[in-house]
Chain A
Amino acid sequence: MSLINYSSREINCKIVYYGCGLCGKTTNIKHIYTKVAPEAKGKLISLATELDRTLFFDFLPLDLGSIKGFKTRFHLYTVPGQVFYNASRKLILRGVDGVVFVADSQVERLEANVESMANLQDNMTEYGLNIQTIPFIIQYNKRDLPNIASVDELRGQLNKFNSPEIEAVAHQGYGVFETLKSVAKMVLKNLS
């Protein structure tokens, strides 16, 4: 649910990065944070454990500037990927405008990806949402590692609805902006 405030002329959109534990959601957000100009970004908030695993969420507000007189902002969130944090994951999805599913390309994480995708669909259904109708993109991350599944294989397991997809190496920044840009464009298109 984007919030459009006609009086203060602001538009705020919420984008959530979803995926299994250690797939690179936080890495995506951190890369964006380091590369975006200071005037366009707010504070990066990470609610993480001492071992840097996301406990509740990471949050990064991005300011797009004024478009047609409306100050336009994106609020980027990640969810905690670990299976037992589902209650928290569900909360973060509230009011979401666009979802990025970050898939871990490593062969041994295939099952975890599939489980996380099913979990995303379950949680979205509870909010009356559907990945076929809201802006949604799949990012195949960690393409630099040796033990990865082919994109075809990942697509077969994860991309049942022919959603847009991007290959990435988030820790090096490859594919990170492309992913965000694609989902952001879809969200903005939904508004107009």
Chain B
Amino acid sequence: MPVENLNVFEDDFWSINELLNQLLKNTNSLAVLLIDKAGQLITTAGDISQLDTTSFASLSAADFAATSQLAMLVGEKEFSTLFHQGEKQNIYVASIESRVMLAVIFDQRTTLGLVRVRTKQTVAELIKMFQAIFAKLEETPPPPPLSGSNFGSDFASEAESELDNLFK
């Protein structure tokens, strides 16, 4: 498996955000989170003020990864969606191009059926978008992430002093 590159640029980011906001509205759900499979949060829509999004992203990635392995054990390539049902809130997670996942958190103000259908549509749109992003990255490989006039050695030295502060 090649090393994955998923640096998010501004234009793509806003288009993705717009899609997530549409999904949020169309499903009447509480929050929508886009997470990469390494467990890092890419972006969100909706009210996440009460949610520890860092933990959420890390645990859903692990959850999805474990489920994918379970799928392989029974001869499936992947279980493309996951659903966790709670008393008040539920989580629906869908895979996008095996690199990214979309998690929808919803309650009784909507239904699983609606979330499933609308998420499927959004996933199809996001797949197109990510394919375009990946194609773009292959055509013109990005420079080292933080190179350029604003970064370079300055970044490294500033980061080092922050690291020293962290462990004081």
Q: Which of B93-134 contact A (CB under 8 A)?
A: none
Take A128-B3, A189-B156 as given contacts and tell me if A64 and B36 are in contact as well, using a CB distance cutoff of 8 Å: no
Q: Is the interface of A mostly helix, strand, loop or mixed?
A: mixed
Query: How far does the Cβ of A186 sit from chain B's closest Cβ, in whole Å?
Result: 10
Contact with A along B50-70 (1 / 0, CB 8 A): 001011001101100110010
> Which B residues lie within 8 Å of A82 (CB)?
none
Scoring A7, A42, A59, A177 by chain B CB atoms within 10 A of each residue's CB, the highest score goes to A7
Closest residue of B by beta carbon distance from A95: B38
> Which A residues lie within 8 Å of B162 (CB)?
64-65, 67, 72
Take A3-B42, A6-B7, A36-B166 as given contacts and tell me if A191 and B52 are in contact as well, using a CB distance cutoff of 8 Å: no
Cβ 8 A contact of A45, one of B55, B154, B158: B55
Tell whether, in the assembled complex, residue A1 and residue B6 are in contact, meaning their CB atoms are under 8 Å apart: yes
Q: Which of A19-65 contact B (CB under 8 A)?
A: 35-37, 40, 42-43, 45, 47, 56-57, 59, 61-62, 64-65
Scoring A12, A68, A191, A192 by chain B CB atoms within 10 A of each residue's CB, the highest score goes to A192
Closest residue of A by beta carbon distance from B166: A40
Take A128-B2, A184-B163 as given contacts and tell me if A43 and B69 are in contact as well, using a CB distance cutoff of 8 Å: no
Cβ 8 A contact of A43, one of B55, B153, B163, B167: B55
Query: How far does the Cβ of A96 sit from chain B's closest Cβ, in whole Å?
Result: 8
Stretch at the interface among A86-94, A109-117, A143-151, A156-164: A86-94
Cβ 8 A contact of A95, one of B37, B69, B158, B166: B37
Cβ 8 A contact of B65, one of A5, A67, A91, A181: A91
Take A45-B58, A64-B162 as given contacts and tell me if A128 and B7 are in contact as well, using a CB distance cutoff of 8 Å: no
Cβ of B26 within 8 Å of any chain A Cβ, yes or no, is no
A76 to B154: give the CA distance in the assembly, Å.
25
> Which A residues lie within 8 Å of B166 (CB)?
36-37, 40, 62, 64
Cβ of B145 within 8 Å of any chain A Cβ, yes or no, is yes
Cβ of A131 within 8 Å of any chain B Cβ, yes or no, is no
Take A6-B8, A6-B10 as given contacts and tell me if A192 and B151 are in contact as well, using a CB distance cutoff of 8 Å: yes
Tell whether, in the assembled complex, residue A59 and residue B3 are in contact, meaning their CB atoms are under 8 Å apart: no
Take A75-B58, A128-B1 as given contacts and tell me if A4 and B43 are in contact as well, using a CB distance cutoff of 8 Å: no
> Which B residues lie within 8 Å of A192 (CB)?
144-147, 151-153, 155-156, 159
Interface residues of A (CB under 8 A from B): 1-8, 11-12, 14, 35-37, 40, 42-43, 45, 47, 56-57, 59, 61-62, 64-65, 67-70, 72-73, 75, 77, 87-88, 91-92, 94-96, 126-129, 177, 180-181, 184-185, 188-189, 191-192
A88-B66, A188-B156 known; 11 new pairs, CB 8 Å cut-off, are A6-B13, A59-B58, A64-B162, A68-B151, A73-B54, A75-B40, A75-B58, A87-B69, A94-B38, A191-B146, A192-B152
Interface residues of B (CB under 8 A from A): 1-10, 13-14, 36-43, 52, 54-55, 58-59, 61-62, 65-66, 69, 144-147, 150-156, 158-160, 162-167
